[in-house]
Structure 1
Amino acid sequence: MIPVPGFEGRRIAVFGLGRSGITAARALHAGGAIPILWDDGVSGRMQAEAEGFTVEDLSQADWSQFAALVLSPGAPLTHPEPHWTVDRAKAAAVEIIGDIELFARALARTPGTVRPRVIAITGTNGKSTTTALVGWVLKQAGMKVAVGGNIGIGVLALPAPAEVGVYVIEASSYQLDLTTSLAPDVAILTNISPDHLDRHGGMEGYVAAKARIFAHAALSLVGVDESWGQGIATALAAEGRTGTLISAHPGESRDPVLSSVTPALQDNGRSDDPQTGHPKDWVPAFAGMSGSIGVRPGSLLVAGGPSIDLTHARSLPGRHNAQ
């Protein structure tokens, strides 16, 4: 577990006692806070009481006594309409955060000498598989890795920073909406396509939520196979941010907005690759990097060249693929 300091002796409202909510309560308690829990479901309240937590009907609570509301990602923040706890919190000027934000704040208070690196991953499709694979690769490289977040283990239930070298975290758009200070060493957006539009008020809100993963990232990897990812990449490049574009079809996109950002984004104009039909060494890169990542779909590369055709490989097993 990752204890969350910074709220010592203060009352924190926790609504929604699923995986993220109950682990947030445990982490807050371990850090010295006084979590006050509530859930609309009886089973969640019973579990909280069995663990010795204070369970209180938040609809009857004095919200002026709370330092923060930790909201379940399953409860709407803005759309279709704010959850009633959101209205109560805003009326009392109580900040509204989620478990990923608590994780970020706990890491920010960890001494730099023992603070693990963080790789944060989001996207409409493939984020769970990418998270699992990145974690596996790093483990095979001999690193102490903890994988969690929106996949498998709740982020605050992961081992404490002193026991980890790298956290690989999957973050959903719901979780990112409740995050303000996450500062990953690497932030990855796999792709964007319309999803959860009812919860974000439309595509613009959904894209904005996904883009939050890059707000404080040291290095940004942005999937640009869709116009929405291209828009995010263009905005980051205009800010002079450090990062790389990722694509399954490097060179295929010629979005005029993307190609107009120079010198941050550029195409070196090399000749076409006869195997893929895409330009060789397409380099639409951020100011801080000099390359992009793109491979032929279904390829595994070794030493920069195709090694294995994975086109007919079976999908990665796991509960995250049963969505």
Structure 2
Amino acid sequence: MIAATTFTGQKVALFGLGGSGIVTARALVAGGANLVAWDDNPESVQRARDEGIVTHDLREIDWSEIASFVLSPGVPLTHPKPHWSVDLARQAGVEIIGDIEIFCRERRASQSNAPFVAITGTNGKSTTTALIAHILASSGRDTQLGGNIGTAVLSLDPPAAHRFFVVECSSYQIDLAPSLDPTAGILLNLSPDHLDRHGSMENYAAIKERLVAGSDVAIVGVDDDFSAAIAERIGTSGAKLVRISKERALADGLFAQSNRIVQAGSTDERTIVDLADHPTLKGAHNAQNTAAAIAACLAVGLSEAEIEDGIRTFPGLKHRMQPVGRRGAVVFVNDSKATNADAAAPALSSFTDIHWILGGLPKAGGITSLQPFFSRISKAYLIGEAAPDFAATLGEAVPYEISGTLDLAVTHAARDAAESTAGAPVVLLSPACASFDQYRNFEVRGDAFVAAVAGLDGVEMLVPFAKESD
């Protein structure tokens, strides 16, 4: 754990005692802060009390005594309206920060030269984060992986000169980290997402820009207009910039050319790695992820040979285009992390003869943007709240059924795929939706898919799965 020693002796208020919140509370107490914490969930408050953490309703404290207010990233800071605790902090003129900001302050105070890679973007950030961590770890570096990828950043080992930190950052976390200053910062791409929490695409992009604007080396994808404009601003400022692209050749930067990742500079172009036969880095989106990972690893001192070796052995990311089972010619792929249309596009572009399971809690725009991939889909199996709207979008272009539930969709898709004569049928869960209408999160949804696949007769599982005994 990283003890929050930069808050020693200060009175700190904290709201949000979920997974990362309770870790943050422990870190503050360990660092000597005078902490008072609260949550709207009485069970979370009780769990904190059981650990000896001081809790009190923040509506009843003296905010004039508070030096800093730490907010869980899941709690609204600005939109659709600020949480009541945010209003109280602002009225008292108290800074509002999150756990990433605490990590940045601890790193600066103790080991400012500890290599720190931060990754953001609408899509691809978890795969990129995992790939960078794998490359570093496989090269023998002490690697700490955390942030939005699922491990609270303050639960990692403390900063040290030899220790490499790889941290995925959501827009919510960046918004609470005003002094975010990674060694290498990555912005992969931007498309509409979380606009209910940020108010507009312009606000969302401005928050994401902070991560790369504060980096020693900024690595920016330039395949969408918002990101390209950010790269232009950073380049004009004179900061060190590496552009990446999955769509076109660059005069300077890293770009995809067929299956190759090419580095271009002032004198030459050369291939860093070829992904043609890589089992888990298929598709143009993974070319972008790989280019970003290469740029970041070069920025923190790895050799090209170390990077290539790490890429070659990367096993892929759970719930992201993850092959989980096979029955005859049919492959079952878990892409549960595709929680919007842009995130589903890479999987749809990587396979043909797709038996597509989709649906859940819909996001703005639905699946209209995926129409160019409809010719690849043999049949769609619709689940959750989005089913009626998605059926209307599919219309007569794609055969579909409204399955309703995931287990039924898996059963029907497996049956239909087994009858395919195309040669490479895929049963693909790539929902293009949030999971919250039926599942707590996309991980639980993905695990349910794996369980449903494992329950089919004759399936060879490609991931560990223990069936319940009778």
Q: TM-score range by the shorter chain?
A: 0.7 to 0.9
Q: Counterpart amino acid of 1:295?
A: A
* Change in CA separation of 1:144 and 1:42 when aligned onto 2, cut-off 3 Å: same
Q: Is the 8 A contact 2:261 2:271 kept in 1?
A: no
* Change in CA separation of 1:248 and 1:89 when aligned onto 2, cut-off 3 Å: same
Provide Cα deviations, 1:113-151, integer angstroms capped at 9, x if missing partner.
Answer: xx4210000000010110001000011111110000011
Q: Is the 8 A contact 2:116 2:184 kept in 1?
A: yes
Distance 2:277 2:57 in 1: 53
* Change in CA separation of 1:297 and 1:211 when aligned onto 2, cut-off 3 Å: farther
Q: 1:220 aligns with which of 210, 213, 218?
A: 218
Distance 2:92 2:254 in 1: 47
Shift of 1:6: 2.2
The TM-score, its normalising length taken from structure 2, stands at: 0.58
Q: Is the 8 A contact 1:120 1:213 kept in 2?
A: yes
Q: Is the 8 A contact 1:10 1:33 kept in 2?
A: yes
Shift of 1:309: 1.3
Q: Counterpart amino acid of 1:309?
A: A
Asked if 1:293 is matched to 2:291, the reply is: no
Tell me what 2:101 maps to.
Answer: 101
Distance 2:70 2:258 in 1: 40
Q: Counterpart amino acid of 2:65?
A: Q
Higher helix share: 2
Matched residue SS, 1:188: strand
Q: Is the 8 A contact 2:2 2:158 kept in 1?
A: yes
Q: Determine what percentage of the aligned residue pairs are the same residue.
A: 44
Distance 2:280 2:93 in 1: 52
Shift of 1:312: 6.6
Counting only pairs closer than 5 Å after superposition, residues 242-321 of structure 1 correspond to structure 2 as 242-251=240-249, 282-283=250-251, 291-296=252-257, 298-299=259-260, 304=271, 307-310=274-277, 313=280, 316-318=316-318
Distance 2:115 2:214 in 1: 14
Tell me what 1:36 maps to.
Answer: 36
Counting only pairs closer than 5 Å after superposition, residues 167-206 of structure 1 correspond to structure 2 as 167-206=165-204
Tell me what 1:268 maps to.
Answer: none
Shift of 1:306: 5.5
* Change in CA separation of 1:144 and 1:68 when aligned onto 2, cut-off 3 Å: same
Matched residue SS, 2:160: helix
Shift of 1:79: 0.8
Provide Cα deviations, 1:207-227, integer angstroms capped at 9, x if missing partner.
Answer: 011001023210000011100
Q: Is the 8 A contact 1:96 1:178 kept in 2?
A: yes
Q: Counterpart amino acid of 2:158?
A: A
Matched residue SS, 1:243: strand
Asked if 1:88 is matched to 2:55, the reply is: no
* Change in CA separation of 1:176 and 1:105 when aligned onto 2, cut-off 3 Å: same
Distance 1:222 1:108 in 2: 24
Shift of 1:162: 3.3
Q: Is the 8 A contact 2:13 2:35 kept in 1?
A: yes
Distance 1:81 1:14 in 2: 19
Unaligned runs of 5+ in 1: 252-281, 284-290
* Change in CA separation of 1:159 and 1:319 when aligned onto 2, cut-off 3 Å: farther
Distance 2:173 2:182 in 1: 15
Shift of 1:308: 3.8
Aligned-residue CA RMSD in angstroms?
2.1
Q: Is the 8 A contact 1:150 1:171 kept in 2?
A: yes
Distance 2:272 2:25 in 1: 48
Provide Cα deviations, 1:145-197, integer angstroms capped at 9, x if missing partner.
Answer: 00000112100000111385210000000000011111111000111111001
Counting only pairs closer than 5 Å after superposition, residues 123-162 of structure 1 correspond to structure 2 as 123-162=121-160
Shift of 1:78: 0.8
* Change in CA separation of 1:297 and 1:184 when aligned onto 2, cut-off 3 Å: farther
Distance 2:231 2:274 in 1: 30
Q: Is the 8 A contact 2:118 2:186 kept in 1?
A: yes
How many correspondences in the alignment?
A: 284
Q: Is the 8 A contact 2:111 2:160 kept in 1?
A: no
Q: Counterpart amino acid of 1:21?
A: G
Provide Cα deviations, 1:77-99, integer angstroms capped at 9, x if missing partner.
Answer: 11111111111001111100000
Shift of 1:300: 6.5
Distance 1:108 1:314 in 2: 35
Tell me what 2:110 maps to.
Answer: 110
Tell me what 1:234 maps to.
Answer: 232
Q: Counterpart amino acid of 2:173?
A: Q
Matched residue SS, 2:117: strand
Shift of 1:4: 1.3
Distance 2:248 2:3 in 1: 42
* Change in CA separation of 1:214 and 1:138 when aligned onto 2, cut-off 3 Å: same
Distance 1:121 1:146 in 2: 14
Distance 1:45 1:130 in 2: 35
Tell me what 2:72 maps to.
Answer: 72
Distance 2:162 2:51 in 1: 27
Matched residue SS, 1:96: strand
Q: Is the 8 A contact 1:186 1:219 kept in 2?
A: yes
Shift of 1:301: 7.5
Of the two structures, which has the highest relative contact order with CA contacts closer than 8 Å and spacing of 6 or more? Answer: 1
